[in-house]
C-alpha cells in the first residue's frame, strides 16, 4: 500500500491558502504575529487553580490558596487556604496566580474538598 504525501492529500482543485487578507492596511499577518509573541502572558484565574493572596489584613496575607468559586457579580472570589483549609472570601484584585516557587513553599496541608456548600455560596454572593 502506497502512502499519500501531505501535498497530494488535499482535495483536487483547492490550493493552499498562504496569505490572509489584512483587516486594515496597518495590521498584517506579520504584525499581529509579532504582537502575539511579545504580549506578556498572565495566567488566567481558573476554578481549582492555586492563587497567591497579596492582602495582609486578617492574618491570611502572603499565603497560597485554592480558588473555589466566584461571586455572581464577578468581584469576589472564595479561596481555601492551603495551610489549614479555612474558607476566605476576597476581592478578585487581592489575588493573583501563584508561581511554582510559592506553591512549593506553602504546600497543601488539609483534606477538604475544593467546593463550597449553599451557606458558603450565599455568604460569597452577599459580600460586597
The residue whose grid cell reads 509573541 is 37
User: pTM for the complete prediction?
Assistant: 0.64
Does some domain include residue 114? Answer: yes
pLDDT of residue 4: 56
Q: Between these two residues, 43 and 93, which has the higher pLDDT value?
A: 93
Give residue 87's domain range: 50-126
Does some domain include residue 120? Answer: yes
Does some domain include residue 20? Answer: no
Going by C-beta distance under 8 Å and a sequence separation of 6 or more, which residues neighbour residue 51? 45, 64, 65, 66, 67, 77, 79, 95, 96, 97, 98
In this predicted structure, the answer to whether residue 63 has a pLDDT above a threshold of 70 is: yes
- Outline where DSSP puts E strands in the chain: 50-53, 63-70, 76-81, 87-91, 95-97
Are 87 and 77 in contact, with CB atoms under 8 Å apart? no
Mean pLDDT, rounded, for 27-50: 73
Mean pLDDT, rounded, for 108-126: 93
pLDDT of residue 56: 79
In this predicted structure, the answer to whether residue 75 has a pLDDT above a threshold of 60 is: yes
What is the CATH classification number for the domain harbouring 84? 2.30.30
Among 1-15, 36-50, 54-68, 94-108, name the one with the lowest average pLDDT: 1-15
Q: Model confidence at 107, in pLDDT bands (50, 70, 90)?
A: very high
Does some domain include residue 19? Answer: no
Query: How many domains does the structure of the chain reveal?
Result: 1
pLDDT of residue 60: 81
Does some domain include residue 62? Answer: yes
Does some domain include residue 31? Answer: no
CA dist., res. 58 & res. 84, Å (int): 14
For 44-61, how does the pLDDT look when each residue is reduced to its tens digit (9 = 90+)? 788 899 999 998 767 888
Per DSSP, 74 falls in state S
In this predicted structure, the answer to whether residue 1 has a pLDDT above a threshold of 60 is: no
Does some domain include residue 24? Answer: no
pLDDT of residue 53: 94
Going by C-beta distance under 8 Å and a sequence separation of 6 or more, which residues neighbour residue 67? 45, 46, 47, 48, 49, 50, 51, 77, 78, 79, 95
Amino acid at each position: 500500500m502506497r502512502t499519500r504525501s501531505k501535498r497530494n492529500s488535499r482535495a483536487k482543485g483547492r490550493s493552499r491558502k498562504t496569505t490572509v487578507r489584512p483587516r486594515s492596511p496597518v495590521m498584517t499577518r506579520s504584525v499581529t504575529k509579532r504582537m502575539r509573541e511579545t504580549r506578556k502572558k498572565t495566567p488566567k484565574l481558573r476554578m481549582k487553580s492555586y492563587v497567591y493572596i497579596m492582602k495582609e489584613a486578617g492574618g491570611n496575607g502572603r499565603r497560597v490558596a485554592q480558588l473555589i468559586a466566584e461571586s455572581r457579580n464577578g468581584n469576589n472570589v472564595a479561596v481555601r487556604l492551603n495551610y489549614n483549609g479555612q474558607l476566605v472570601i476576597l476581592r478578585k484584585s487581592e489575588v493573583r496566580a501563584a508561581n511554582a516557587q510559592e506553591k512549593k513553599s506553602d504546600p497543601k496541608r488539609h483534606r477538604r474538598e475544593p467546593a463550597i456548600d449553599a451557606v458558603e455560596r450565599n455568604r460569597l454572593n452577599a459580600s460586597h
